[in-house]
Amino acid sequence: MLTNKNEVLAAALDQTNTWLAQTLGRPDLQLQLISQPIARAAAMRFERGGGPRRKVHWNWEEIFFSRVRHQDAWMYAMVRAGRPRAMCYGRIQVKGGHVSLEYLERTPYARGIRGVTAPTAFQFARAVALLLDLREVRLNEPFPCLVRYYERVLEGAIRHPAVGPVKYLSVKVAL
């Protein structure tokens, strides 16, 4: 496991929050890293917030305990007015030379964060990658209807495989 994971994630988080507040003028939005004492409560609050309109079956608490804790990975919640409105899970793969965004979800029809969720997640992942001198960010398993959107807004996004269902989109990043 990375020895400086917490430091890297904290530095990226700090800058992402500063970017949200100063560049986007959204001090009401804040990222918070999910860690052991709050993981369960945060996941439950987020999933309950989706209500019956939530369209996926995955469980953020399970993802945290099976794939984030004690691993080179992160989970954050985007919080607004004290409530988690979006969740993101990503992995750091130093040997593979990339970081990957694995799961990203926001509460359905959440007011006030529409349009901010994906750019923020990418911004955070890019920061983590560059702080670790990695040069690629991958978006794994993008929802099919959003592939074109990602290709349009993320400059240089390349789909893999080139034909057929997209496994991941890869974006090269540099300082």
Partner 1 sequence: MKRVRVAPGKFVVVSQGMADKAARVFASGAFTRDQVREMAAAEPKSASGVFLGKSTAKRAGALSGKNGTLVRQSTGHVVVAGADRAPTKRKAA
Burial 123-152 (b: 16+ CB within 10 A, else e): bbbbbbbbbbebebbbbbbbeeeebeebbe
C-alpha neighbours within 13 Å on the C-beta side of residue 159: 18
Hey, what are 146's tokens? 């959003």
Smaller CB separation from partner 1, 38 or 44: 38
Is residue 101 a contact residue for partner 1 (CB under 8 A)? yes
Distance CA 156, CA 170 (A): 8
What the block records as the tokens of 96 is: 């593979």
CB of 134 to partner 1, least distance (A): 12
Structure tokens at 100: 């990957």
Minimum CB separation of residue 95 from partner 1 in Å reads 21
Does 41 bind partner 1 (CB under 8 A)? Our answer is: no
Task: Say whether 60 sits in a helix, a strand or coil.
Answer: helix
Binding to partner 1 (CB under 8 A) within 60-99 occurs at: none
- Stretch binding partner 1 (CB under 8 A), from 91-99, 134-142, 156-164: 134-142
Give the residue, chosen from 3, 23, 163, 164, that forms a contact with partner 1 under the rule CB under 8 A.
23
User: What tokens were used for 18?
Assistant: 């500063």
User: How many residues of this chain bind partner 1 (CB under 8 A)?
Assistant: 67
Q: Is 149 in the site for partner 1 (CB under 8 A)?
A: yes
Q: Which residue in the block uniquely carries the two structure tokens 């500063």?
A: 18
Could you say which of 70, 95, 111, 114 contacts partner 1 (CB under 8 A)? 114
Q: Looking at 1, 3, 53, 164, which residue binds partner 1 (CB under 8 A)? A: 53
Question: Whose CA is closest to 12, among 119, 132, 168, 112?
Answer: 132
Residues at the interface with partner 1 (CB under 8 A): 4, 6-16, 18-19, 23-25, 32-35, 38, 50, 52-58, 101-110, 114-119, 121, 123, 126-127, 130-131, 139-146, 149, 152-153, 165, 173-175
